[in-house]
Amino acid sequence: MDSKERMGDGDETMSKELYACLHMKQFPLQSQLRLRPDLQKTPVAVLDGQPPLEAICSVNTAARRIGATLGMTRIEAENIQGITLLPRSAEIEAVTSAVYLECAANFSPRIEDRITGAHRSCVLDIAGTERLFGPPHQLAHRLREAFADAGLHSTVAVSTNFHTAQLKAAVSSGVSVVAEGQEAAALARLPLGVLSLLEEEAETFAAWGIRSLGELAALPEIELIARLGQQGKYWRDMAAGRLPHLFRPREPQFLLREYSEFEPAVEQMDSLLFVAAPMIESLASRASGRALLLASLVVTMRLDNKANHQLTIQPALPTLDRRFLLKLLHIELAAHPPPAAVTALTMEAIAGHGSKLQLGLFSPQLPEPSRLDVTLARIKAIVGADMVGSPALRDTNHGDAFQMEAFSVTGEESTIAACPPRMSLRRMRPPHPVQVRCEHQRPIAFHDGQQTYSILAAYGPWRTSGEWWTSDDWRIEEWDVVIAQEQQAYLLVNDHRRNRWYLDAVYD
């Protein structure tokens, strides 16, 4: 890249350094309303502090119109009719911080995060991104739209100076692009209050009649340093838009997690699903931004009795279908409702990649994965989750030892090697109980409740046992017998633990 390139329209140019600052006002309030579309157009204020000394720390425009102000106590705020008061939540703000850092990381890997009171901003190093996102003004608009899609309202300022972009974004609305060399002019009319001055410094400048950054930048440098020291030069260079900055980028961790609190606690399932819908929407959008799908959802509900109620939603195939995931959550909640009112809801998603199946030209069409998952969820609600799935063998020698596992769809074709015909064993389910007569510890006849059968030949016993360290230990002996009446071979089992005989299988 050349030392200077085009920036914006006309004759504006830019250097190798270029920063975009994205400023979010009333961050505690935006964090609360991001997943609460029902409250975004109503008067809302966020309270901070320990009861009963809580005070308003963040407030929206609708609440200001009816008299709410920053610093107002809870008692004063409760006297305002029509206002909704929400407690400040560090956990909700942490999740929102992760969301906006993920959005910013889609435009630049170099991000520096800044917190100023109830406001929050992040500065992106966007030098060299023109071929990806276009000129700075176009990138700024795309950046602001991406944050709006995530439910966050912001202002964006672009400048070749780090501090200029930050100061301009804090007081502007919409998008501002400061051309190189115009930093001082862009900051000249800003009030002195945009600087984080100490009380003594603010009083000194007020006594000198300095009210704006332009007036501060016009002060003689040597005389200012003589009176305020190097700190005076620091403020003067910042006001003039030429203060250097050592960029300290941070790498945000990608974690698909959403969190919401309820005041008061939610008891109705419809209300819970109303809040869960935008959470699923947000998780799906964040995963889609990284070309990922949602493989599973872990839903944790904190109850008003301090206990947790957890559900797991795992579709057969990773998906981004919001309605489908919400339907699965609805069925799971109906089958396993929380035992008490819900005070907080957490959703953590595990990302996955999509898989494609290549079907044959004349192969039957498979059912849609979403319809299959909904059907399975409804069956689980009726018969139980442990009764639905794919049978898998357990690591044991016990006959009929299997467990149910979740269905999984893979692109691998199952093949069965060709083999010559051989004798097969057809199991009786359930095994048929019988009464057996023995001589010299060998079965010679058995009665099945209707008829007595003489045993022509008996081969055995084959004794097996296992799992003696559990309550499900087993100890059996098996006999292969041939009955005289039918010349048919059966598998006769003696269960020593339960002290009973039964017919377990027939040889074909």
pLDDT digit string (tens) for 305-331? Answer: 889 999 998 887 888 889 999 999 998
- The reply to whether 74 and 184 lie within a common domain is yes
Question: pLDDT at position 5, please?
Answer: 39
Question: pLDDT at position 184, please?
Answer: 93
Query: Is the pLDDT score of 217 beyond 90?
Result: yes
Query: Is the pLDDT score of 214 beyond 90?
Result: yes
Contact 87, 46 (CB under 8 A): yes
The answer to whether position 315 is within a domain reads yes
The answer to whether position 80 is within a domain reads yes
Question: pLDDT at position 3, please?
Answer: 34
Q: Average pLDDT, stretch 370-390?
A: 77
Q: Average pLDDT, stretch 198-213?
A: 91
In angstroms, the Cα distances linking 147 to 122, 153, 156 are 12, 7, 11
- The reply to whether 46 and 163 lie within a common domain is yes
Last residue of one domain, picked from the residues 199, 225, 245: 199
Last residue of one domain, picked from the residues 319, 352, 385: 352
The answer to whether position 357 is within a domain reads no
With a CB cutoff of 8 Å and minimum separation 6, the contacts of 131 are none
- The reply to whether 341 and 488 lie within a common domain is no
pLDDT-derived band of residue 1, with 50, 70 and 90 as boundaries?
A: very low
Q: E strands within 137-275?
A: 155-159, 175-177, 257-266
Angle, nearest 10°, between helix axes 90-105 and 136-149?
140
Which of 65-74, 191-200, 233-242 is least confident? 191-200
Contact 165, 157 (CB under 8 A): yes
Question: pLDDT at position 14, please?
Answer: 42
- The reply to whether 269 and 194 lie within a common domain is no
- The reply to whether 148 and 40 lie within a common domain is yes
Last residue of one domain, picked from the residues 310, 332, 352: 352
Mean pLDDT of the chain: 86
pLDDT in tens, 268-280: 888 899 989 999 9
- The reply to whether 337 and 265 lie within a common domain is yes
Comparing CA positions, the residue from 169, 153, 173, 156 lying closest to residue 30 is 153
Chain centre to alpha carbon of residue 130: 31
- The reply to whether 94 and 184 lie within a common domain is yes
Query: Is the pLDDT score of 386 beyond 90?
Result: no
Which structural domain, as residue segments, surrounds residue 308? 257-352
Indicate the SS3 state at residue 204: helix
Angle subtended at Cα 195 by Cα 165 and Cα 55, rounded to the nearest 5 degrees? 105
For residue 310, with 0-12 CB atoms within 10 Å meaning exposed, 13-18 middle and 19 or more buried, which class applies?
exposed
Number of domains observed in the structure of the chain: 3
- The reply to whether 38 and 121 lie within a common domain is yes
Question: pLDDT at position 2, please?
Answer: 35
The answer to whether position 22 is within a domain reads yes
Indicate the SS3 state at residue 144: helix
The answer to whether position 363 is within a domain reads no
Question: pLDDT at position 187, please?
Answer: 94
Count, residues in the chain: 508
For the domain that residue 84 is a member of, what is the CATH number? 3.30.70.270
For residue 495, with 0-12 CB atoms within 10 Å meaning exposed, 13-18 middle and 19 or more buried, which class applies?
middle
Which of 18-22, 408-412, 498-502 is least confident? 408-412
Which of 7-11, 84-88, 213-217, 337-341 is least confident? 7-11
For residue 508, with 0-12 CB atoms within 10 Å meaning exposed, 13-18 middle and 19 or more buried, which class applies?
exposed
Query: Is the pLDDT score of 19 beyond 50?
Result: yes
Chain centre to alpha carbon of residue 393: 33
Q: Average pLDDT, stretch 396-415?
A: 67
Question: pLDDT at position 398, please?
Answer: 75
The answer to whether position 398 is within a domain reads no
- The reply to whether 340 and 438 lie within a common domain is no
Read off the pTM.
Answer: 0.67
The answer to whether position 376 is within a domain reads no
pLDDT-derived band of residue 4, with 50, 70 and 90 as boundaries?
A: very low
Element housing 121 (H / E): strand 119-125
Comparing CA positions, the residue from 302, 297, 261 lying closest to residue 282 is 297
Angle subtended at Cα 33 by Cα 53 and Cα 283, rounded to the nearest 5 degrees? 130
Interatomic CA distance for residues 88 and 28, integer angstroms: 7
Higher pLDDT, 119 or 13: 119
Q: What percent of the chain has pLDDT over 70?
A: 90
**How is residue 386 written in tokens?**
């442990």
- The reply to whether 60 and 163 lie within a common domain is yes
Instruction: Name the CA dihedral angle for 261, 266, 271, 277, rounded to a multiple of 10 degrees.
Output: 30
- The reply to whether 35 and 136 lie within a common domain is yes
Question: pLDDT at position 325, please?
Answer: 92
For the domain that residue 342 is a member of, what is the CATH number? 3.30.1490.100
The answer to whether position 345 is within a domain reads yes
- The reply to whether 144 and 274 lie within a common domain is no
What are the two backbone dihedrals, phi and then psi, of residue 466, each rounded to the nearest 5 degrees? 175, 175
Interatomic CA distance for residues 46 and 96, integer angstroms: 15
Question: pLDDT at position 30, please?
Answer: 92
With a CB cutoff of 8 Å and minimum separation 6, the contacts of 259 are 89, 91, 92, 95, 344, 345, 346, 347
Instruction: Name the CA dihedral angle for 304, 308, 309, 313, rounded to a multiple of 10 degrees.
Output: 130
Higher pLDDT, 264 or 358: 264
In angstroms, the Cα distances linking 207 to 198, 201, 330, 466, 479 are 14, 10, 65, 91, 107
pLDDT in tens, 339-351: 999 999 999 999 8
| Exposure of 503 in the CB half-sphere (CA atoms within 13 A) | 21
pLDDT in tens, 433-486: 999 999 988 999 999 888 898 988 899 898 888 888 887 788 889 999 998 877
Indicate the SS3 state at residue 140: helix
pLDDT-derived band of residue 352, with 50, 70 and 90 as boundaries?
A: confident
